[in-house]
């Protein structure tokens, strides 16, 4: 049963399993365990990023393509919902229409980008997607009639999701059962579902071909796989999931603007998470997102303490300034790329594997002696 | 050593040497095309000089990037950091030598800018040396890791600049003698833009001279074309590459000083903001081609200024439109470098 | 000094996941021209590239003048006095003939510093080089490019020349010129290892011959012996080479 849900792709490491259980339980019980609006926002952001980062990993980790246009699809999803609700009013039909249109647009764009540029080297693809992403961001802030320009769009969500909607007057375990809570659990459920679907995809025969292409494109081609078709398909899939993540974000925030979903900072965040968590393992997206977003929100508090404590030491004080948290994550990122490119998840899995093998060998030796 | 070789039938002449000058003609063609659209001659002159100045600065910044790519297939996504570093160094130098910078004596004004350029080039060159060693070399030959790690270099570099100079934008006023405009008939051209054009031309000429008249230049051109053969002739291309990387970083630092003065202000994000523009320029020019980079940069500068005046909304996309048009015409860029 | 100038012993080379050379044993005698024959894919080019350090052997020894060079880098190997003319000729198309020659003459900073007497001799072998001295090499004809490639390899004296299929795609008249040039070169005591598929070309030049198949040397001996033995030729070279005769 569990094997079917996880598509046979188990964490394969006790530590990793424990971490995943903590993250999943933490997210599932967040409203009850971590009270307060800030904590719930952090939990929601982790959920959105799990989908977003996992979708990026489909491309980077499983296919070996670096795209800087991933936030474009994220933004399309967010704008799809925002624009549709602004125009059609806060109804589920508007949400459906927004998501639908966004998916179609993402599909078309990713198909065109994929077909045009996946034939070229990784470097060109990275450059061209970077240019496209910047152009799209400019476009979004220019079409202010549609997108609200730099200010973005604030909108109402269907009544079920509004804080004023209430399931019952009496709070449950000290938490009021309102639309915000429903929103959160809807987001959580969607995250679990989308993640499992992606897990299924990478463990399908299709996913195996993608990995074969990543390992040796020439050979995969020789074996008769049409690599461009496969890579384009993974591009399209990745874009679609990013679009859905964007829609989830917009529904949660009830707002969308260029900085929330399209900015290059988000692209950098995605890159950092994917690499630190581990490329080519979807579980890396879960672990990475949780660590990164908690760090983003709470590392700064910690650094404030450290910075205050070192306020007498000129350079150290500035290095530890809370606004410089990206410096430390950037360093961690660089070290990750060349010290352990398999990331946290890969490292944990390798450790577990080495332990298991040592055990097996010890057992074999013991047998041999007796 | 007498020859016993039978003289073969040597054809009398080679096919006519046809240098490809069409891309070069694009610049005057574009300028002439813009004239009737703009209508006013003096406005046209002002815009053209603005575009050329911007293009020259972009060329100075991008030339190192394109050569580094051509020589070793290394694309440094962190190139922008060197621009930012150069610009902030200019702030420090001009700040430290404020009396010279605000003096009425032109010679002091020129001297302070030269000092700023020199300091920027030396420091960015030295940083480039360390950057090549720490960031580029460990992942050499691995395209994917290279993109990621140079991106990481960009993030960390930008943060370090914030640590040193603070996260806020800092004004960088032009020294007295560089301010104001020169009148050509009715057309006013900012003095600094003229200077930028002259410096750009000097750098371009120097680069072309090195590439065609020195052995190092020949090696670079040959290495862009066929790295293995250069090694088979007994030259260490790695050393050559480090040299080019350092020179490219120093040029980015020089460009940063000029860009900061052009904008009359600096901010930590200025490098990453220019990055996209640089990529567009080197793609337009043909990756690895210095001549293509020069023309690409001027085209980008001119198109940005013309469209900014004619159709401001389109101006924001003008670079990408230009790239698409050029690539539809020549898929490998203006001057494709015949790489194996 | 005695012993072969170049010696390969049990050389295995992998390119990525592919195992190309399966234990090559080859000796190239001093002052002689050794021809390496074999059909497409036999591993001839890989052998030359392994000697040059462009690919590194995964096992075995490459010795030059008695010294192990298997682990050295390409520039270091070249600086020992080994010149390489690759199958694609490796011409720098954007550079002029003159600039190509300046790079080939490691000791020269410009054309004036190339040994004039040596250059005159090269011109006498390949007059087209003098004629097109200032022209971009990319505009030369196929035969002229091949001449430039060989001229580059000999513009300074080298101990060993590795030449990959100099006759490939050349017109018969040019091939005759090439043969004459190699004969002249042999007079200068230069040791040459020549990869060929054209047996007719090889027979006119070779002192020694080695035949490759499936990543191994399957025969080695003198060219004279092979040239006389029709049956051996048939057996070793198969039909693909017979077509050239």
**Residue numbers of C between 77 and 96 with CB closer than 8 Å to B:** 78-79, 84, 86, 88, 90, 92-95
At B3, is the pLDDT very low, low, confident or very high (cuts 50, 70, 90)?
A: very low
How many angstroms separate the first and last alpha carbons of chain B? Answer: 37
Distance of alpha carbon A70 from alpha carbon B109, whole angstroms: 47
Work out the average pLDDT over C178-192.
Answer: 90
Distance of alpha carbon A102 from alpha carbon A90, whole angstroms: 17
**DSSP-derived pairing of the beta strands C33-37 and C82-85:** unpaired
> Per the CB < 8 Å rule, is A138 touching B149?
no
Of the given ranges (A174-188, B163-177, C116-130), which has the lowest mean pLDDT? A174-188
Residues of C in contact with B222 (CB under 8 A): 92, 95, 99, 103
Distance of alpha carbon C206 from alpha carbon B80, whole angstroms: 57
At B129, is the pLDDT very low, low, confident or very high (cuts 50, 70, 90)?
A: very high
At A84, is the pLDDT very low, low, confident or very high (cuts 50, 70, 90)?
A: very high
CA distances (Å), origin B217, targets A242, B67, B224: 47, 11, 11
Q: What is the pLDDT of residue B6?
A: 43
Q: Is the pLDDT of residue A203 over 60?
A: yes
C17 touches chain A (CB under 8 A): yes
DSSP string spanning B29-97? HHHHHHHHHH--HHHHHHHHHHHHHHHHHHHHHHHHHHHHHHHHS---TTHHHHHHHHHHHHHHHHHHT
Residues of B in contact with C99 (CB under 8 A): 218, 221-222
Subunits with at least 3 CB pairs below 8 A relative to chain A? B, C
Residue C94: which of B4, B225, B229 has the nearest Cβ? B225
Q: Is the pLDDT of residue A222 over 80?
A: no
DSSP string spanning A148-213? -GGG-EE----GGGSTT-BS-SSPBTTB--BHHHHHHHHHHHHHHHHHHHHHHHHTSHHHHHHHHH
Distance of alpha carbon B54 from alpha carbon B278, whole angstroms: 12
Q: Please give the model's pTM, rounded to 2 decimal places.
A: 0.86
Q: What residues contact A45, with CB distance under 8 A and at least 6 apart?
A: A293
Work out the average pLDDT over B284-311.
Answer: 93
CA distances (Å), origin C234, targets A164, C72, C203, C238, C240: 94, 39, 15, 5, 10
Alpha-carbon torsion angle A156, A157, A161, A167, nearest 10: 60
Q: What is the pLDDT of residue C243?
A: 41
**Residue numbers of C between 28 and 47 with CB closer than 8 Å to A:** none
Q: Is the pLDDT of residue A273 over 80?
A: yes
At A36, is the pLDDT very low, low, confident or very high (cuts 50, 70, 90)?
A: confident
Query: In this prediction, what percent of chain C has a pLDDT beyond 90?
Result: 60
Chain A: residue whose CA lies nearest to B163: A318
Pull the structure tokens for residue A55: 């979708």
Judged on CB neighbours under 10 Å (0-12, 13-18, 19+), C226 is buried
> Minimal Cα–Cα distance from B239 to chain A, Å?
23
Asked if A108 and A47 touch (Cβ cutoff 8 Å), the reply is no
B19 touches chain A (CB under 8 A): no
User: Which of C16, C89, C92, C137 is the best residue to mutate to test the B interface, defined by the most B CB atoms within 10 Å of its own CB?
Assistant: C92
Residues of B in contact with A333 (CB under 8 A): 148, 152, 155
Residues of A in contact with C16 (CB under 8 A): 216
E runs forming strands in chain C: 6-15, 18-28, 33-37, 57-64, 67-68, 82-85, 160-164, 191-196, 208-213, 216-222
A219 touches chain C (CB under 8 A): yes
Distance of alpha carbon C209 from alpha carbon C226, whole angstroms: 8
At C109, is the pLDDT very low, low, confident or very high (cuts 50, 70, 90)?
A: confident
Which has the closest alpha carbon to A235: A108, A140, A77? A108
What backbone torsions phi and psi does residue C227 show, to the nearest 5 degrees?
-65, -30
Residues of C in contact with B232 (CB under 8 A): 52, 54, 74, 78, 84, 86, 90
Which has the closest alpha carbon to C109: B236, B67, B218, B231? B218
> Taking all residues of chain B, what is their mean pLDDT, rounded to a whole number?
89
B62 touches chain A (CB under 8 A): no
> Taking all residues of chain A, what is their mean pLDDT, rounded to a whole number?
85
> Minimal Cα–Cα distance from C87 to chain B, Å?
11
Q: What residues contact A165, with CB distance under 8 A and at least 6 apart?
A: A159, A178, A179, A182
CA distances (Å), origin C36, targets C47, C165, C220: 10, 10, 9
Asked if A154 and A175 touch (Cβ cutoff 8 Å), the reply is no
Q: Give per-residue pLDDT as tens, A282-312.
A: 899 999 999 888 888 887 788 888 888 887 7
Residues of A in contact with C17 (CB under 8 A): 216, 219
Asked if A317 and A311 touch (Cβ cutoff 8 Å), the reply is yes
What is the number of CB-based contacts under 8 A between chain B and chain C?
108
What is the number of CB-based contacts under 8 A between chain A and chain B?
92
Alpha-carbon torsion angle A45, A46, A50, A56, nearest 10: 60
Q: What is the pLDDT of residue B15?
A: 57
Q: What is the pLDDT of residue B18?
A: 59
Q: What is the pLDDT of residue A211?
A: 83
Region label for C25, one of left (φ > 0), alpha (ψ between -120 and 50) or beta (otherwise):
beta
> Per the CB < 8 Å rule, is C184 touching B14?
no
Residue C61 or B287, more confident:
C61
> Per the CB < 8 Å rule, is C90 touching B231?
no
Subunits with at least 3 CB pairs below 8 A relative to chain C? A, B
Q: What residues contact A90, with CB distance under 8 A and at least 6 apart?
A: A155, A156, A157, A158, A159
> Minimal Cα–Cα distance from A287 to chain B, Å?
20
Q: What is the pLDDT of residue B12?
A: 52
Residue C99: which of B8, B9, B218 has the nearest Cβ? B218
> Per the CB < 8 Å rule, is B159 touching A330?
yes
Chain C: residue whose CA lies nearest to A219: C17
At C172, is the pLDDT very low, low, confident or very high (cuts 50, 70, 90)?
A: confident
A216 touches chain C (CB under 8 A): yes
What are the residue ranges spanned by the domains of chain B?
59-329
Q: What is the pLDDT of residue C244?
A: 43
B308 touches chain A (CB under 8 A): no
> Per the CB < 8 Å rule, is B152 touching A334?
yes
DSSP letter (8 states) at residue B4: -
Q: How many CA atoms lie within 13 A of C13 on its CB side?
A: 31
B311 touches chain A (CB under 8 A): no
Q: What residue ranges define each of the domains in chain A, with the CATH number in brackets?
A: 2-369 (1.10.3470)
Of the given ranges (A101-110, B102-111, C46-55, C98-107), which has the lowest mean pLDDT? B102-111
Distance of alpha carbon B243 from alpha carbon A257, whole angstroms: 44
At B2, is the pLDDT very low, low, confident or very high (cuts 50, 70, 90)?
A: very low
Pull the structure tokens for residue C178: 């090439």
Which has the closest alpha carbon to A153: A263, A97, A79, A101? A79
What are the residue ranges spanned by the domains of chain C?
1-81+158-245, 92-157
Asked if C160 and C83 touch (Cβ cutoff 8 Å), the reply is yes
B280 touches chain A (CB under 8 A): yes
Q: What is the pLDDT of residue A119?
A: 65
Q: Give per-residue pLDDT as tens, A230-272.
A: 888 999 999 999 999 999 999 999 999 888 889 888 998 998 8
Distance of alpha carbon C70 from alpha carbon C72, whole angstroms: 6
Asked if C15 and C21 touch (Cβ cutoff 8 Å), the reply is no
Q: What residues contact B333, with CB distance under 8 A and at least 6 apart?
A: B282, B283, B284, B285, B286, B287, B289, B292, B296, B326, B327
DSSP string spanning A227-270? HHHHHHHHHHHHHHHHHHHHHHHHHHHTEE-HHHHT-HHHHHHH
Pull the structure tokens for residue A230: 């496969």
Alpha-carbon torsion angle A237, A242, A248, A249, nearest 10: 180
C5: helix, coil or strand? coil
Angle, CA C145 vertex, CA C86 and CA C29 arms, to 5°: 40
Letter string b/e over residues A15-43, b meaning 16 or more CB atoms within 10 A of that residue's CB? ebeebbeebbeebeebbeeeeeeeebebb
Of the given ranges (B11-25, B77-91, C216-230), which has the lowest mean pLDDT? B11-25
User: Which of C14, C17, C18 is the best residue to mutate to test the A interface, defined by the most A CB atoms within 10 Å of its own CB?
Assistant: C17
Report CA torsion sign: C154, C158, C159, C162: negative
Write the CATH number of the domain with boundaries C1-81+158-245: 3.40.50.300
HEC secondary structure over A308-334: HHCCCCHHHHHHCCHHHHHHHHHHHHH
Q: Give per-residue pLDDT as tens, A96-107.
A: 999 999 999 999
> Per the CB < 8 Å rule, is A326 touching B155?
yes
DSSP string spanning B113-176? HHHHHHHHHHHHHHHHHHHIIIIIGGGTT-HHHHHHHHHHHHHHHHHHHHHHH-SS-EE-PPPG
Chain A: residue whose CA lies nearest to B273: A134
Which has the closest alpha carbon to A327: A339, A318, A338? A318
At A356, is the pLDDT very low, low, confident or very high (cuts 50, 70, 90)?
A: confident
Specify which residues B189 forms β-bridges with: B182
Alpha-carbon torsion angle B146, B151, B155, B161, nearest 10: 80
Residue B29 or A301, more confident:
B29
Q: What is the pLDDT of residue A296?
A: 82
B275 touches chain A (CB under 8 A): yes
> Per the CB < 8 Å rule, is C78 touching B230?
no
> Minimal Cα–Cα distance from B222 to chain C, Å?
6
> Minimal Cα–Cα distance from A215 to chain C, Å?
11
Which has the closest alpha carbon to B157: B228, B84, B222, B219? B84
Asked if B38 and B309 touch (Cβ cutoff 8 Å), the reply is yes
Region label for C62, one of left (φ > 0), alpha (ψ between -120 and 50) or beta (otherwise):
beta
At how many degrees (to 10) do helices B79-96 and B270-285 cross?
Answer: 130
Chain B: residue whose CA lies nearest to C119: B1
> Minimal Cα–Cα distance from A341 to chain C, Å?
21
Which has the closest alpha carbon to C7: C60, C53, C54, C49? C60
Region label for B311, one of left (φ > 0), alpha (ψ between -120 and 50) or beta (otherwise):
beta
Judged on CB neighbours under 10 Å (0-12, 13-18, 19+), C213 is middle
Residue B147: which of A66, A135, A330 has the nearest Cβ? A66
Residue C75: which of B3, B234, B338 has the nearest Cβ? B234
Distance of alpha carbon C114 from alpha carbon C155, whole angstroms: 8
């Amino acid at each position: 049963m569990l094997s079917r849900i996880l598509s046979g792709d188990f964490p394969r490491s006790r530590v990793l399993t424990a971490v995943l259980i903590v993250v999943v339980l933490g997210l599932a019980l967040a409203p009850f365990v971590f009270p307060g609006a800030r904590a719930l926002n952090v939990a929601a952001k982790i959920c959105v990023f799990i989908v977003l980062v996992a979708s990026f990993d489909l491309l980077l980790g499983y296919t070996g393509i670096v795209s800087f246009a991933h936030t474009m699809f994220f933004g399309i999803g967010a704008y799809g919902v925002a624009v549709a609700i602004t125009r059609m009013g806060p109804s589920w039909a508007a949400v459906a229409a927004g998501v639908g249109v966004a998916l179609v647009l993402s599909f078309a764009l990713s198909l065109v980008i994929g077909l045009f540029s996946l034939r070229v080297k990784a470097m060109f693809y990275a450059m061209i997607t970077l240019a496209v992403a910047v152009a799209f961001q400019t476009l979004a802030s220019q079409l202010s009639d549609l997108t609200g320009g730099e200010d973005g769009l604030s909108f109402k969500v269907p009544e079920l999701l509004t804080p004023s909607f209430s399931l019952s007057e009496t709070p449950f375990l000290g938490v009021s059962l309102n639309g915000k809570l429903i929103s959160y659990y809807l987001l959580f459920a969607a995250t679990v579902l989308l993640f499992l679907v992606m897990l299924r995809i990478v463990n399908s025969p299709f996913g195996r071909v993608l990995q074969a292409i990543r390992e040796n494109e020439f050979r995969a081609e020789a074996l008769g796989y049409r690599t461009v078709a496969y890579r384009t398909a993974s591009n399209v899939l990745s874009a679609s999931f990013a679009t859905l993540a964007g829609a989830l974000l917009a529904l949660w925030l009830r707002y969308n603007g260029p900085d929330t979903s399209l900015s290059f900072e988000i692209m950098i965040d995605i890159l950092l998470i994917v690499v630190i968590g581990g490329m080519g393992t979807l579980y890396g997206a879960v672990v990475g997102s949780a660590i990164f977003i908690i760090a983003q929100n709470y590392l700064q508090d910690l650094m404030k303490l450290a910075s205050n404590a070192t306020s007498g030491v000129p350079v150290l004080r500035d290095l530890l300034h809370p606004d410089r948290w990206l410096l430390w994550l950037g360093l961690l990122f660089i070290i990750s790329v060349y010290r352990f490119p398999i990331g946290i998840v890969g490292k944990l899995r390798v450790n577990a594997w080495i332990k298991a093998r040592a055990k097996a060998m010890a057992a074999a030796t013991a047998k041999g002696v007796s | 050593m007498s020859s016993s070789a039978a003289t073969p039938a040597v054809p009398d002449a080679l096919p006519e040497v046809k240098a490809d000058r069409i891309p070069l003609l694009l610049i005057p063609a574009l300028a002439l095309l813009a004239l009737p659209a703009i209508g006013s001659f003096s406005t046209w002159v002002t815009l053209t000089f603005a575009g050329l100045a911007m293009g020259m600065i972009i060329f100075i910044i991008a030339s190192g990037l394109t050569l580094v790519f051509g020589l070793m297939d290394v694309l440094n996504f962190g190139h922008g950091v060197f621009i930012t570093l150069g610009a902030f160094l200019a702030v420090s130098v001009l700040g430290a030598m404020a009396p010279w910078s605000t003096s009425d004596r032109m010679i002091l004004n020129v001297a302070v800018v030269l000092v700023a350029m020199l300091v920027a080039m030396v420091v960015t060159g030295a940083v480039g040396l360390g950057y090549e060693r720490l960031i580029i070399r460990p992942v050499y030959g691995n395209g994917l890791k290279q993109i990621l790690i140079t991106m990481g270099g960009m993030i960390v570099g930008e943060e370090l600049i914030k640590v040193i100079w603070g996260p806020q934008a800092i004004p960088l006023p032009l020294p007295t003698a560089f301010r104001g405009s020169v009148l050509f008939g009715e057309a006013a051209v900012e003095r600094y833009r003229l200077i930028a054009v002259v410096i750009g031309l000097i750098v371009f000429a120097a680069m072309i001279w090195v590439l065609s008249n020195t052995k190092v230049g020949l090696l670079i051109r040959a290495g862009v074309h066929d790295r293995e053969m250069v090694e088979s002739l007994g030259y260490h291309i790695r050393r050559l590459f480090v040299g080019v990387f350092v020179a490219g970083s120093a040029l980015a630092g020089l460009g940063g000083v000029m860009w900061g003065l052009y904008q009359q202000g600096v901010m930590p994000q200025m490098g990453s903001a220019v990055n996209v523009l640089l990529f567009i320029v080197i793609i337009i020019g043909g990756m690895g081609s210095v001549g293509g980079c020069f023309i690409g940069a001027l085209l980008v500068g001119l198109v940005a200024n013309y469209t900014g005046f004619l159709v401001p909304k389109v101006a924001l996309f003008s670079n990408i439109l230009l790239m698409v048009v050029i690539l539809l015409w020549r898929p490998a860029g203006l001057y494709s470098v015949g790489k194996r | 000094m005695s012993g072969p100038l170049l010696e390969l012993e049990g050389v295995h080379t992998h390119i990525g996941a592919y195992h190309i050379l399966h234990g090559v044993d080859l000796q190239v005698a001093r002052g002689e021209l050794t021809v390496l024959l074999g059909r497409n894919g036999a591993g001839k080019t890989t052998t030359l590239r392994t000697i040059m350090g462009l690919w590194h052997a995964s096992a075995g020894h490459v010795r030059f003048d008695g010294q192990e060079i298997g682990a050295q880098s390409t520039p270091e190997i070249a600086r020992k006095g080994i010149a390489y003319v690759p199958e694609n000729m490796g011409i720098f198309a954007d550079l002029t003939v003159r600039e190509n020659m300046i790079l080939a003459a490691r000791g020269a900073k410009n054309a004036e510093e190339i040994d004039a007497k040596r250059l005159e001799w090269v011109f006498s072998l390949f007059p087209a080089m003098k004629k097109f001295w200032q022209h971009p090499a990319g505009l030369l004809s196929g035969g002229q490019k091949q001449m430039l490639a060989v001229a580059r390899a000999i513009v300074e004296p080298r101990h060993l020349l590795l030449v990959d299929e100099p006759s490939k795609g050349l017109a018969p008249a040019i091939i005759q010129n090439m043969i004459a040039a190699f004969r002249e070169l042999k007079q200068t005591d230069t040791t040459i290892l020549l990869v060929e598929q054209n047996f007719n070309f090889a027979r006119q030049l070779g002192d020694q011959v080695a035949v490759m198949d499936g990543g191994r040397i399957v025969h080695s001996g003198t060219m004279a012996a092979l040239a006389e033995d029709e049956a051996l030729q048939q057996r070793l070279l198969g039909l693909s080479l017979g077509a050239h005769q």
